[in-house]
Amino acid sequence: MTITDQLFALQDVAFGDFQAKLMPTIDRSTIIGVRTPALRKLAQQISKTDAAQEFIGQLPHRYYEENNLHAFIVAQTSDFDEAMRQTELFLPHIDNWATCDQFTPKVFKKHPDELLKAVRRWIASPHTYTVRFAIKMLMTFYLDNLFSDEYPKMVAAVKSDEYYIKMMIAWYFATAMSKQYDAVISYLTDHRLDTWCHNKTIQKAIESYRISDERKAVLRRLKM
């Protein structure tokens, strides 16, 4: 049984219909309908097999779940150089927000300096989901003890009309509001984001349980 056959064995057509509504950029015929926990479990089962290595070498994939399984297999790679090599190969083939947002190689956390070099390249990419992935890396790994004022500047400097990039910019700043409020509030008070990202940042921050009611009151007053 091929890996694609294994995915179809886990198919839930109704769930596939539901997923299709969340991902308008994806052709419904390329969505099998496999729940994420099942995909993660399959990735764990096969990640060290020759079949898995052959599978991740077969880009591009046809199915959405093949891309997600690919992401979950690469995410388990323990060698940083190999994880980076596989990430560079895979990023141009990501065609939706869900695959992008679920893809986080675990080993990246242990190599922040090396990862940052790649993030600087990715954030300047012409490919929507490579840029989104770069911002996601800054949000995931560089908003706590590794934070620098340079990083929100990098995100704010991204100029794009792509919805899935703008949404990630807003998500980044909303998350930053909960972790580095004093360092990033000026991006709203000084109107350093475009109006859409500005207002979406406020909306997402107000929805967060990690931000105090006092700060939410301030944010509400900043809406444009």
- Residue pLDDT, tens place only, 4-21: 999 999 999 999 999 999
Whether the upstream peptide bond of residue 92 has omega within 30° of 0, thus cis, is: no
Query: Exposed, middle or buried by CB within 10 Å (0-12, 13-18, 19+), for 122?
Result: buried
Q: Could you give phi then psi for residue 25, rounded to 5 degrees?
A: -85, -5
Q: Residue 5: how many CB atoms within 10 A of its CB? A: 8
In the chain, the N- to C-terminal Cα span, in Å, equals 56
Q: Model confidence over 47-101: pLDDT tens digits?
A: 999 999 999 999 999 999 999 999 999 999 999 999 999 999 999 999 999 999 9
CA 116/CA 46 separation, integer angstroms = 30
